[in-house]
Structure 1
Amino acid sequence: MELPDTSTALAGAVQELASQVASALRSGDHLGVLGRVVSVAGPDRDDDVALAAVRVLGADALLPSVLLGRPVAPEDWAVFEQAASAFPPAAGARPASVWSHWAMRRTLGEDGPEPGTRWLDAAPWQVLTRQLAVLAALAVPGADCGVGRLAAGRPVDVARGFVRAVRRRDWLQAAGAGRWLSLIDDVPESLGLAEGLEFVNLMAGDDPRVALQLRAAQLLRTGALV
């Protein structure tokens, strides 16, 4: 099914979850992260909102485990699996939604068929960067996939997209593109990626989704991984 993205409750739950994950990436802890987001809606909370927030964040909900090798609490694993099962892509869903769901299933250890990349194969660099930013959860070490191979084959285009996002003050897109650039090879040295990411961090304020992407990019750049 397609997820709503205009609900105030859902938006708040996504922000809270992203904040918890970003904090776990900084501290190295990941126990009980997903369960905490349920409390966002208060005493009359809708657990479906909490699950939808996990689905929106996708595989990044377990990113501290993926990047730092920290154990996943059993309750977190159960919430993650429930979110993936509760919100499968609907027939005719956007490719990004299909890929995001596939990434969750891959994180769960399932070997489902990889979605296609035809919608991106010949995409202009602006579109490529925008879609890569949406799918930044796929930018993890050793996770070879079609989207990752596209990004790796077009480092100059992704760099151009990063600069464009910064100039447009689209900090979330810039952070997502920067995460990909921190993973792939042959990024132009003239880009000044480290300085660019620092600028995004300075200008983005306290958006936890941007903070999550920037912390992931930092870990990828410095190699401080398992």
Structure 2
Amino acid sequence: MNQDRSRTAYQESAAGLARRALGALRGAEGTAMVAAHVESAQDPGAALAAIRILGADTFAPVVLAGAPLHPEDAAAIALAFSALPPGRDVPLPPPAGPEGPWLMAWRDWGTVTLLTVLTGRGGARLTAPRPALPADAAPADDAAGWAEWSVRMGQLSTLALPGLDGPVHDAARRSPLALARGATRAVLRRDYPTAARIARWLAWLRSDGVRLPLDAGPLVEHIGLLAGGDRPALDTAISRRLIAL
């Protein structure tokens, strides 16, 4: 399989896993949805890669809807990390290092951290070091660079879940206005996938008790009406649950 076909297979598998997670979040999916995704896949390697891509969102039905974490799901997530292990070196934050590996390292940290919290033992066998943040981790309200920063935060939206907290979350707490501007900008540009990801941070901040410069509820509903695709649908559903908290 060439690189383009491999990337397409990973993206399609990740979309399928996002549909399963959305179904589980709504109570329409059976138990062990992650394991079922791997077992039913024509390409098990792509299915395991999808777990790494979806990241901590595989736990959304557990931490937001109270669904139990099935042992087979925990095993499937652990298998994804053993079959496709993260690099041993902690990636440098941009611009000192490339953005892609750094973002993936943060997503891996979120997945492994939640697995450890939810299993109490299974996740402890996995390691995913927490990267550092770049110097522009949280722009001031009147500072330039908020647009690029908010997009980067959107790329880390899988961390916007209960049970996770760290430097990225502290950065979100320090810059709610920048996130509100970023989500609004994405909506105006009709970039609804990006808007859905950034809006998740606003929903998370609301659930965390942070005062926001806009009402996250109508924004999330507006994005939900216009966004298409499995991943934006999952992001919007997660935001609704966070707001309900």
Query: Which of 111, 115, 119 is 1:104 aligned to?
Result: 111
Alignment of 1:221 with 2:228, yes or no, is no
Give the distance between the partners of 2:237 and 2:48, measured in 1 at CA. 23
CA offsets, 1:110-149, max 9 Å, x none?
4865321125426621122112211111112242211010
1:118 aligns with 2:134: yes
Residues 79 and 159 of structure 1: is their aligned pair in 2 closer, same or farther, counting only changes over 3 Å? same
Q: How does 1:149-164 map to 2 (within 5 A)?
A: 149-164=170-185
* Partner in structure 1 of residue 161 of structure 2: 140
Distance 2:162 2:131 in 1: 19
Q: Normalising by the residue count of structure 1, what TM-score does the alignment of the two structures yield?
A: 0.85
**Alpha-carbon distance in 1 for matches of 2:103, 2:4:** 15
Task: Give 1:186's match in structure 2, choosing from 211, 216, 224.
Answer: 211
Matched, 1:49 2:46: yes
Whole-Å separation in 2 of the counterparts to 1:32 and 1:4 = 30
Say which SS state the counterpart of residue 116 (structure 1) adopts: coil
Q: Which ranges of structure 1 fall in alignment gaps of 5 or more residues?
A: none
CA separation of 1:30/1:219 partners in 2, compared to 1, >3 Å: closer, same or farther? farther
User: How far, CA to CA, are the matches of 1:147 and 1:37 in structure 2?
Assistant: 30
Q: Which residue of 2 aligns with 1:79?
A: 76
Post-superposition offset of 1:192? 3.5
Aligned residues: 215
Aligned to 1:34: 34
Name segments (4+ residues, structure 1) moved above 6 Å.
3-6
Q: Does the Cα contact within 8 Å between 1:179 and 1:213 map onto a contact in 2?
A: yes
What residue number does 2:21 align with? 21
Aligned equivalent of 1:130, options 141, 151, 155: 151
Is 1:60 equivalent to 2:57 in the alignment? yes
Kept in 2: contact 1:14–1:56 (CA 8 A): yes
Instruction: Output the CA distance in 1 between the equivalents of 2:82 and 2:193.
Output: 27
Residues 114, 163 of structure 2: 8 Å contact kept: no
Q: Deviations over 1:90-111 (max 9, x none)?
A: 3546211111111111022148
Identity across the alignment (%): 34
Structure scoring higher RCO (CA < 8 A, sep ≥ 6) equals: 1
Indicate if the aligned counterparts of 1:21 and 1:63 stay in contact, CA closer than 8 A: yes
Q: Residue 82 and residue 39 in structure 1: after superposition, are their counterparts in 2 closer, same or farther (change >3 A)?
A: closer
Amino acid at match of 1:35: A
Determine the C-alpha separation between the residues in 2 that align with 1:66 and 1:5.
34
> SS at 1:94's partner residue?
helix
- 1:26 partner letter: R
Q: Contact 2:138–2:171 at 8 Å: present in 1 too?
A: no
Work out the CA distance in 1 between the residues paired with 2:5 and 2:182: 24
2:198 corresponds to 1:212: no
Between the aligned partners of 1:5 and 1:122, the Cα distance in structure 2 is 37
- Structure 1 CA distance for aligned equivalents of residues 128 and 16 of structure 2: 30
TM-score when normalising by structure 2: 0.79
Shift of 1:214: 0.7
Cα 1:156–1:171 change in 2 (3 A) is same
Q: 1:159 to 1:31 in 2, by over 3 A?
A: same
Asked whether the equivalents of residues 105 and 129 of structure 2 are also in contact (C-alpha less than 8 Å), the reply is: no
CA contact (8 A) 1:158 1:177 kept: yes
Q: Which runs of 5+ in 2 are unaligned?
A: 92-99, 117-123, 140-144
